[in-house]
Structure 1
């Protein structure tokens, strides 16, 4: 019986930040149901100098997307 997991994350710049987590999930013999990612306010490194990027994110649409993602995985 594999544990079922899902990933939700935010990011400043679009990239697959879940690669390491996916490797850990595979090593632990878990079943990845899916991932959901959206833009998020980011002040890391040089972004701090300009006041950050993606201000106001995640927003209502992003949250609705996460809710829809969750609804889909619980129906499986």
Structure 2
């Protein structure tokens, strides 16, 4: 597989960066912020952030909106969140739609629980303490191995 790049926004607790590091270790990918992202020559691009009020981070979404057409470049999405995505609450659909509208072929997605102190969760000391954990990171590495196939 050719060059891989992971565009990651991880701001609150470093949850998403831990997942990005696990993915990058398998994919031999560079991890960059949206402000520093250069996708030139990348055959596979990962896009990930924490989930904030049911959405990917605004910096990541703005970066995607600013991209030129990609002509079928392969992409994947990943997220960390305190609560899982459900059939009724699909936070990944907006980012997948945005990527596909830019000409990316979105080949897979990955989500992990992460320590969350946003909004009302802060009042109780947060939820999902200790996440992502070793098992979550192993799942991220397995996901990355699948992307290589």
TM-score (norm 1): 0.92
Residue of structure 2 aligned with 1:9, choices 60, 79, 92: 79
Whose relative contact order is higher, 1 or 2, with alpha carbons under 8 Å and at least 6 apart?
1
How many residues are matched?
Answer: 75
In 2, the alpha carbon distance for the partners of 1:10 and 1:29 equals 25
Residue of structure 1 aligned with 2:130, choices 48, 56, 62: 56
In 2, the alpha carbon distance for the partners of 1:18 and 1:66 equals 17
- RMSD, aligned CA: 1.0
Alpha-carbon displacement from aligned partner over 1:15-55 (angstroms, at most 9, x marks no partner): 13211111101111111110010110000100001000000
In 2, the alpha carbon distance for the partners of 1:13 and 1:40 equals 8
In 1, the alpha carbon distance for the partners of 2:129 and 2:110 equals 19
Gaps of 5+ in 2: 1-70
Gaps of 5+ in 1: none
Whether 1:27 aligns to 2:27 is: no
TM-score (norm 2): 0.48
